[in-house]
Structure 1
Amino acid sequence: MKKIIFPLLLMLSGSVFSQVSMGTTPETNNKWTFGGGIGVGFGSQNSFYLQASPKVGYRLTDDLEVGVVGSVSWQTSDYYRSTMFGVGPFVNYYFARSFYVGANLQQYFINFKDKFYDYKTNEQETALYLGGGYMQRIGTHSFMQIGLMYNVLYKENSSVFSSGLIPSIGFVVGL
């Protein structure tokens, strides 16, 4: 099943983004950008993870973009189930349309249920991600972004996250 779903999702997301980037040609005076990322994971104890993070930005200059990013994720396994929503502002600065640095402030709302102990909790956590990465052109005004971000507010014993460091892969249309 895993061998079928993952390639299918990759082909579907590639098809969607190729149609967006080649099917529309934003006017050069359009300053709005759209993008985001999708994540899927599988693990032991029948664990499954699905995440989507859409974003909308506005180019203040050709190299400076500000906007809002959202995040929603679902995790489930034999032992737990959780849903997490996040929203917040971001800023990206682009170098020669090949590299970027950025900051992203997210406020997360987490709903967690431990199936084994029948324990439920609702929590909130703030994360400030700083980082950057590489951009690969995939269309006239479309790019794939591959980067690494670090949550500078991460505290090992009090965070719902397992680490402060996160890799990121996403797409942006309109640059």
Structure 2
Amino acid sequence: MKLTEQRDVPTVYEPAEDSHLLAETAIERIDGGYALEVGVGSGYVASRIATETNATVVGSDISPEACARARAEGIETIRGDLTRPFRADSFDVVVFNPPYLPTPPDAEWDDPLEYALSGGPDGRRVVRPFVADVGRVLKPDGRSYLLVSSLTDIDAVAGLAADAGLTAREIAAERFPFERLVVLKITHKNS
């Protein structure tokens, strides 16, 4: 993983294999409408969606540095926590590459990238609240593309979706030496 450095302090997660997989998967399936990238970071995925599809794209991030970076890339960006700043039934598509690395509490660090990388002890600390609320902001026939890792327990993430009244299914994957990256398509159960 590469990091953007400003004054020798990394501040924004740079696109890596996971970002590329999410962008390619989303672009193949987006045909317009309103799209949100949660955790917009550098703006890479949102920029690709904006330039390679007919979608109107907005980003959100909890990090002011990430918001500034995405805005510099031409992405309208809201500073906020996950999907909370947005009204119900707002988006046709929501994409998210969450912090998914399982990180024991004694290995946590205190710098701006902790939110971008650390998924807590099971890798699902940020995935849980996202999956619990994403159905609220999706239009009835909307879908979310969520990138997760085998390190995060893909079946557990699908279980979180089911608990939230959503359906999750794997639509893309890529293998790496220590993990398998997967994009889950999450929809309302009735769609």
Rg (Cα) greater in structure: 1
**Which structure's residues are more often helix, by fraction?**
2
* TM-score between the two structures when normalised by the length of structure 1: 0.31
Q: Structure 2-normalised TM-score?
A: 0.29
